[in-house]
Structure 1
Amino acid sequence: MKRPFIIFYATIVYALAQLFWWGYRLVELQPQRTSMVLSEGSMFLIVFALGAWSLHKSVNKERRLHEQKKNFLLSVTHELKSPLASIKLYLQTIAKRDLDRAQVKNFIEKCLLDVERLDDFVENMLLASKIENSSYTFPKESFSLSGLVDNVVNRLQINKCDMNQQLINAEIEPKLEITGDKFALTSVVTNLIENAIKYSKPCDEVGVKLFRKDDTIYLQVADKGIGIADHEKQRIFDRFYRVGSEETRNTKGTGLGLYIVKTVLDKHQADIVVKDNKPAGSVFEVAFN
């Protein structure tokens, strides 16, 4: 993508050099036309500058789209490769070794977790595609948000630390109901919690709170991870936006999760804000009015 920029800026330099040269020659030959040359030249420079700025934005946008496409394809490959490799390894172990029933059951459960991870990934891709094409209608129904959040927490709960320490600490107020698209809001809750887990260190607690205050239902997902810089707190909801490149980034993802979250919540007239967690990490707070 460097070549278009080089050609673009070289053309601008050449055009400006020609403008000043011919302006100078005209004034030298016909001094009485100096004021005309200056006024016409100034107008040309203004129009030229606006056009160059517009072209620069277009070329820069194309460069960013190229980088996003590259990162997206790499991230999709990573997201698919990891669980598939894990499933293959577990199944090969079951097939080649004489394992007892408890070991086989444990490996099958781990395979199912990876299958659920793949299923979430595919659902995210499909939902993002439908949203982008305006083909998803967001059907509304009344349902228990408490039950939805509880189900997602139980599915994503991971006990992988000493003394069976829980990774997700959930405080869910019971019997909280809303009217909305249950499928899309399940994706919202899943993406928020998975993001918190993804950017947290092993055994760091992820907090999930669901409660009513006055006439508003709040969902808070807090982590103790790397945090989010202030200048990025709005950009993280852009489609495909991720910090850095896939070659250097430590965390996996496609950049679609928070885009889906923001789009779905907008369709439900719900607000989401990102706050700093103390002493480290971030808090995503959703308000259903």
Structure 2
Amino acid sequence: MLRKPLFLFYFLFFYAVTQLIWWGVLLIQIAPQRKGMFIGEAIFFFIIFIFGAIKLKQAFEREKKLHQQQHNFMLSVTHELKSPLASIKLYIQTILKRELDKEQQQQFLKNSLKDIERLDDLVENVLIATKLDSVQVQMQKESFDFSEAITKIADRLQVYSCTTQSIKLNVENDIYLKGDSFALSSVVTNLLENAIKYSPPCEQVSVKLYREKDEVILSIADFGIGIPDEEKRNVFNKFYRVGSENTRKTKGTGLGLYIVKSVLDKHQAQIKVKDNKPTGTIFEITFNHYAAS
């Protein structure tokens, strides 16, 4: 889609440069005594012209990259929607067509519920990302039990991720935050899902929530593949995903960490990306303002 504008840009650039040189030569021939002035003005004009051309090219490149990311996002969302829907359909068809005992039916229904929750998380992410794009958006400010919210999210994802998955919780009780409970719960969900997604099967994920002086600290650590230093500054960009599009195997839309950073910014909270030892990543969030229990 962007090939024609880029081709036109290069054509016009070289045409303009050629014409400027030609007119410069003609002016010098007409008034050779003013040669120095013509050359000086030409150099100054060329500097401005080339600077503008470079900026325009960078804008084209950014647009091209954004277009590719949006294309990848649509493909990812389509896949993320189709996969659980196909699974739910298969479970329901099996229940209807076969005479299963009560225990098998219960297991199939539980699995279907997990897939529905997965769809619900995806829809919530898209809705929050759309909401965050609005400049006028305001986060609700209400006091809620952050400790309880984290525990419930971890319990749900524990069952969803792996039968032997160990989400190790070290959560202080009765820590209350003043903020948008829905948006902040989405932050925890996205970080925990990422930790599970980028870890080896059934690997341990550590969640810590505690008070430190006048701050509340949330830390989510995994022992997965980690994030290279050169990519840490980009992971919170919209649609950005670590690694090459051609070699990446993990699922995702590239919205999760963008939502995390945007929601935390609106709550005046800071997030840091650290290396876990010996492998993995730690996301550490600091809340400077919270409502006491």
Question: TM-score interval w.r.t. the shorter chain?
Answer: over 0.9
Question: Could you tell me how far apart the structure 2 residues matched to 1:169 and 1:68 are?
Answer: 34
Any conservation in 1 of the 2:165–2:203 contact (CA below 8 Å)?
no
- Matching of residue 46 in structure 1 with residue 34 in structure 2: no
8 Å CA contact 2:187–2:259 kept in 1: the answer is yes
Question: After superposition, where does 1:1-289 map in structure 2 within 5 Å?
Answer: 1-28=2-29, 30-134=31-135, 136-158=137-159, 165-244=164-243, 246=245, 248-289=247-288
Q: CA RMSD in A?
A: 1.9
What is the percent sequence identity of the aligned residues? Answer: 54
Question: Residues 46-85 of structure 1, C-alpha deviation per residue, up to 9 Å, x if partnerless?
Answer: 2212321231122122212211221111111011011111
Letter of the structure 2 residue corresponding to residue 288 of structure 1: F
1:159 and 1:165 in contact (8 A); partners too: no
Report if the CA contact (8 A) 1:144-1:178 is conserved. yes
* CA deviation map 1:93-124 (0-9, x unaligned): 11222211111100100000000010111111
143 and 222 in structure 1: CA distance in 2 versus 1, 3 angstrom threshold: same
**How far 1:159 moved relative to its partner?**
7.5
**Any unmatched runs of 5+ in structure 1?**
none
Which sits farther off after the overlay, 210-219 or 12-21? 12-21
- Quick one: distance in 2 between partners of 1:113 and 1:126? 20
Q: Distance in 2 between matches of 1:244 and 1:70?
A: 16
2: CA distance between counterparts of 1:31 and 1:78? 69
Shifted more, 185-194 versus 246-255: the winner is: 246-255
Instruction: Say whether the 8 Å CA contact 2:226–2:275 is kept in structure 1.
Output: yes
Q: Distance in 2 between matches of 1:206 and 1:98?
A: 39
Q: 1:92 to 1:74 in 2, by over 3 A?
A: same
CA contact (8 A) 2:227 2:242 kept: no
Tell me by how many angstroms 1:149 deviates.
0.5
Distance 1:245 1:94, change over 3 A: farther
**TM-score (ref. length: structure 1):** 0.93
Cα contact 1:158–1:168 (8 A) shared by 2: no
Secondary structure, aligned partner of 2:159: coil
SS at match of 1:158: helix
- In the TM superposition, residue 135 of structure 1 has moved relative to its aligned partner by 5.3
When residues 242 and 288 of structure 1 are mapped into structure 2, their CA distance, relative to the original with a 3 A threshold, is same
1:268, distance to aligned residue in structure 2 (A)? 1.3
Q: TM-score, normalised by structure 2?
A: 0.91
| Distance change in 2, residues 1:218/1:160 (3 Å) | closer
Q: Output the CA distance in 2 between the equivalents of 1:159 and 1:92.
A: 21
| One-letter amino acid of the structure 2 residue matched with residue 216 of structure 1 | E
Can you give the 5+ residue segments of structure 2 that lack an aligned partner in the other structure? Answer: 289-293
